[in-house]
């Protein structure tokens, strides 16, 4: 199977009617996309590298899902609507069974969000998946990291920590194995391997929320990016953090580590004016996404954790850094 046969067989779909925004899809030197009149393009790339972002034996369908999900999550965090994506793929060999499972996971998520594959590149090499997503939004409505204001409420979609706990279970870490209920390894697997991009919530928050980002490297560390870009500080109320059932039995230090420094959560963290509480609740409702107020933004820099006893402690925003 040559390169073009591989693309034709696994990635070019003739059956699907193309969505209206795709003027030209796979097959020419460029794809042509048509955003709605007056809209801006939102563009983001994310690369997944074997050994760094996933294990060699990972389910290829889950990998296809996750490769697109982490990119769609960036569009969600900006408040954008997906238009399409490209896929640059390096493969050690052309394995049909692997490729069709990968494509199935990829297209199942793409179809859910009407986000078609419009082009890419395919080459031989160590397994490496790079996706670029294109989205659209109205000028002035993007949810920028620099837009948090003192007095804003701080919100989280869903809950954090389960992907991290699953990773510890896969690695066989002692505390994870001894303080979780039977079946956790199996139950939490989708939280690590099949994150849900919060696109409907992101679009409902566009023009309403102030700052937003999606959580990939841990709540505290990623919140640090908003604080730095906006020149503000924040207080997280520990009692307001949603705790998944599988995290309940962990020793407190490890539970907090999962909640605040977990990584791979792909939830939205955002700020909004207190006057918008009803509007934020309505956005959560229309997008059918759980949203919880977990703290607030301060004028003074610094990140604080307020515990149930009312004591404040500084929280180090240590996120994951590939070169740290």
**Candidate segments 24-32, 52-60, 177-185, 316-324, binder of ligand ADP by CB under 6 A:** 24-32
Closer CB to Mg ion, 30 or 253, in the complex: 30
Instruction: Based on the shown chain and the rule CB under 6 A, indicate whether residue 133 belongs to the binding site for ligand ADP.
Output: no
Closest CB 28 distance from ligand ADP, rounded Å = 5
Closest CB 103 distance from ligand ADP, rounded Å = 9
Closer CB to Mg ion, 30 or 97, in the complex: 30
Instruction: Based on the shown chain and the rule CB under 6 A, indicate whether residue 122 belongs to the binding site for ligand ADP.
Output: yes
d(CA 159, CA 242): 6
Figure out which of the listed residues 21, 22, 26, 53 binds ligand ADP, where binding follows CB under 6 A. Answer: 26
d(CA 282, CA 276): 10
**How many other β-carbons are positioned within 10 Å of the β-carbon of residue 284?**
19
Binding partner of 218, given ligand ADP, Mg ion, none, CB within 5-8 angstroms per partner class: none
Q: Which of residues 77-96 bind ligand ADP (CB under 6 A)?
A: 87, 89
Figure out which of the listed residues 28, 57, 174, 311 binds ligand ADP, where binding follows CB under 6 A. Answer: 28
Binding partner of 135, given ligand ADP, Mg ion, none, CB within 5-8 angstroms per partner class: none
d(CA 312, CA 14): 59
Binding partner of 29, given Mg ion, ligand ADP, none, CB within 5-8 angstroms per partner class: ligand ADP
Instruction: Based on the shown chain and the rule CB under 6 A, indicate whether residue 115 belongs to the binding site for ligand ADP.
Output: no
Measured in Å, how far apart are the chain's first and last C-alpha atoms?
41
Size of the site for Mg ion (CB under 5 A): 1
d(CA 129, CA 177): 31
Where residue 220 falls (left for φ over 0; alpha for ψ -120 to 50; beta otherwise) is: alpha
Instruction: Based on the shown chain and the rule CB under 6 A, indicate whether residue 311 belongs to the binding site for ligand ADP.
Output: no
Instruction: Based on the shown chain and the rule CB under 6 A, indicate whether residue 110 belongs to the binding site for ligand ADP.
Output: no
Figure out which of the listed residues 27, 34, 121, 249 binds Mg ion, where binding follows CB under 5 A. Answer: 121
Closest listed residue to residue 249, CA positions, set 183, 315, 313, 314: 183
Task: Say if residues 251 and 179 touch (Cβ distance below 8 Å).
Answer: yes
Angle of helix 60-78 versus helix 96-112 axis, rounded to 10: 30
Q: Which residues share a beta bridge with 46?
A: 131
Question: Tokens representing 284?
Answer: 């959560």
Binding partner of 311, given Mg ion, ligand ADP, none, CB within 5-8 angstroms per partner class: none
Helical spans, DSSP H, in 126-198: 162-171, 174-178, 184-187, 189-193
Burial of residue 193 (CB within 10 Å: 0-12, 13-18, 19+) is buried
Instruction: Based on the shown chain and the rule CB under 5 A, indicate whether residue 3 belongs to the binding site for Mg ion.
Output: no
Q: Give the interface with Mg ion as residue ranges (CB under 5 A).
A: 121
Q: Name the site residues for ligand ADP (rule: CB under 6 A).
A: 7, 11, 26-29, 87, 89, 117, 119-122
């Amino acid at each position: 199977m040559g390169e073009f046969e591989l693309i034709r067989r696994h990635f070019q779909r003739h059956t699907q009617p193309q969505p209206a925004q795709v003027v030209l899809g796979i097959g020419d030197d460029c794809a042509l996309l048509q955003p709605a009149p007056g809209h801006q393009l939102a563009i983001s790339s994310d690369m997944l590298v074997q050994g760094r972002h996933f294990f060699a034996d990972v389910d290829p369908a889950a990998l296809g899902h996750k490769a697109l999900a982490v990119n769609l999550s960036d569009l969600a965090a900006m408040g954008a609507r997906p238009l399409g994506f490209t896929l640059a793929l390096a493969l050690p060999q052309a394995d049909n069974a692997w490729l069709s499972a990968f494509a199935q996971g990829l297209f199942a998520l793409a179809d859910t969000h009407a986000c078609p594959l419009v082009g890419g590149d395919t080459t031989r090499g160590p397994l490496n998946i790079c996706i670029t997503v294109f989205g659209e939004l109205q000028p002035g409505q993007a949810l920028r990291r620099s837009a948090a204001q003192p007095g804003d409420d701080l919100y989280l979609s869903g809950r954090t920590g389960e992907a991290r706990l699953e990773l510890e279970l896969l690695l066989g870490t002692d505390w994870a194995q001894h303080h979780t209920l039977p079946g956790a390894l199996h139950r939490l697997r989708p939280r690590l391997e099949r994150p849900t991009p919060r696109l409907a919530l992101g679009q409902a928050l566009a023009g309403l929320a102030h700052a937003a980002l999606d959580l990939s490297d841990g709540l505290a560390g990623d919140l640090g990016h908003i604080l730095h870009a906006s020149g503000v500080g924040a207080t997280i109320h520990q009692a307001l953090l949603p705790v998944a059932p599988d995290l309940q039995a962990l020793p407190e230090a490890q539970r907090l580590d999962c909640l605040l420094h977990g990584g791979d959560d792909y939830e939205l963290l955002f700020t909004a004016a207190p006057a918008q509480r009803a509007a934020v609740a309505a956005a959560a409702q229309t997008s059918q996404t759980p949203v919880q107020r977990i703290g607030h933004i301060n004028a003074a820099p610094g990140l604080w954790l307020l515990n149930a006893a009312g004591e404040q402690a500084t929280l180090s925003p240590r996120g994951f850094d590939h070169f740290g």
